[in-house]
Amino acid sequence: MLPRALGGGRRAPVRGDGSSALPAALVLVATVVTVVGSLGAPLVPTVADAYDVPVPDAQWSLTLPVLVGAVATPVLGRLGDGPHRRTVVLAVLTVVAAGSVLAALPLDLGWLLAGRALQGVGLGLTPLTIAVARDALTGERAQRAAAALSITTVAGVGLGYPLAGWITQGWGLHAAFGCGAVLAAVVVVVAALVLPPASRASRRPLDLPGALLLGGGLGSALVLLAEGGDLGWTSTPALALAASAVALGGWFVARELRVPAPLVDLRQARQAGALVGHTTALLAGVANYVLLTVVTIIAQAPVSSGHGFAVPVVVSGLLLLPFSLGSLLAGRLVRDLDRPSGPGSALTVGAAVTATAFLWLLTGPERLWELFALMALAGTGIGGTYAVMPRLLFAVVPPEDTGSAMGLNQVLRYVGFATGSALSAGVLAAATEPGARLPSAAGYTAVSAVGCATCLAAAVLAGGLTLRAARRRQPAG
């Protein structure tokens, strides 16, 4: 089970009247770290041009932070146990600011990726903010705050992409990352003033070997997905990466099921209801970053390529505004949908709506407004999927296990993000001719088909698992 800092144990006392400002402060923290962590997506073509590398190589500026976020999420939860929660949050925000400064410096690509990795550490704060809301708030207020925080991973990119595009258009690539340093510094001050002290729960040990196994297994799998086409799927390096991913991943699962204080509590995922949320989180994460990758590259690709719109980076960033607005709207709609039929049905509908957006993308939009419209549709589907997950998990997981459930859900979401980004890079790399910088149209079609299939699989699994859970709840006879 993850630490009490992620939701278990006694409720933390709240300073004075800080509880009135707490929900807004938590949303601000979660949004800023998401904005900073997601700055890379609309800038991938710009990074490719600035460093004279192919687009699939520049894609690592997006993949790396979400990979770090996947590993950082459970580690920060454990480090944030008991009285150290505020210290962990403030320290991580400082690391994010430092990474933003490093990414802003006009150094080579390796330093940019190092800065992006440090920015990705902040993505691990989202479950901590949800746990703070569950501890310090009560009743419907806690559920509203948790739902709002859950969709910051979607809504945040809708703010970060236009901001990154606007700054890059006016002041250059590195200025966008410098803005992230300013935002992180502001949030450090807000968090220091508003975050309540943590409960006095006893600390639990950090499963450092588990963290290393998780990072090694994910890293091997993502490098294989992104570089397998160039390496050759049957080459010795590719086979070594595959063996490493399987061995380290299997060792991680076996260890987490055996140790008394696991980094990620996999046992609670065996419940049917929890399995619905966790499976859908993973698949929706894959679809999310496949979509963001394809749409931003198509938008900026030259018209002469036959599938691009040649818009500047600022317009490419604006494509995420309807995506963000759709996700925020969905957060309200799912509350009405899941009351009569349960949250599982909302997951199914959300995945189906996102699949519809991918089908539209597969038809090859010919006008820019079509990209804006399909992004709004996709944001509604993905945002609704994420917004209902806390409600689903709260319904099936005991209060003392809430932190563990939300932590695992967030880890799987980030694993999905990283997988979607790396998978997109791999498919597009395979469709890029030697010496070319942009993939062929077939590459975009293939990766869009992967995204659509992922959403359909999520809809089928969510529907089937929800039906199975409902049958189990029915009394015999």
CATH label of the domain that carries residue 174: 1.20.1250.20
pTM of the model: 0.78
- Asked, for residue 239, whether it belongs to a domain, the answer is no
Helix axes 343-362, 368-396, angle to 10 degrees: 160
Q: Give the domain range for residue 304.
A: 4-207+259-473
**How many domains are there within the chain?**
1
**pLDDT value at residue 403:** 65
- Asked, for residue 341, whether it belongs to a domain, the answer is yes
Alpha carbons 354 and 121: distance in angstroms, whole number: 28
Residue identified by tokens 């759709």 is 326
Of 448, 280, 464, 471, the C-alpha closest to 356 is 448
**pLDDT value at residue 369:** 93
Of 40, 42, 133, the C-alpha closest to 85 is 133
- Asked, for residue 307, whether it belongs to a domain, the answer is yes
pLDDT by residue for the chain (477 residues), tens only, comes to 444 333 344 444 444 344 578 888 888 888 888 888 777 667 888 888 888 888 778 888 888 888 888 888 888 877 766 667 778 888 899 999 999 999 889 888 989 999 999 998 988 888 788 777 777 777 777 777 777 787 776 666 667 777 777 888 888 888 888 888 898 889 988 988 888 776 655 566 778 898 899 889 988 988 888 778 777 878 898 899 999 999 999 999 999 888 888 887 787 777 767 777 888 889 999 999 899 889 988 888 888 877 788 888 888 878 888 888 888 788 777 766 655 556 667 788 889 999 999 999 998 888 999 999 999 999 999 888 888 887 778 777 777 666 667 778 888 888 898 888 888 888 888 888 877 777 888 888 999 999 999 999 999 887 876 676 666 655 544
H-helix or E-strand containing 382?
Answer: helix 368-396
- Asked, for residue 220, whether it belongs to a domain, the answer is no
Q: Are 231 and 177 in contact (CB under 8 A)?
A: no
- Asked, for residue 319, whether it belongs to a domain, the answer is yes
- Asked, for residue 158, whether it belongs to a domain, the answer is yes
- Asked, for residue 150, whether it belongs to a domain, the answer is yes
Alpha carbons 188 and 90: distance in angstroms, whole number: 6
**pLDDT value at residue 114:** 92
Residue identified by tokens 């509203």 is 144
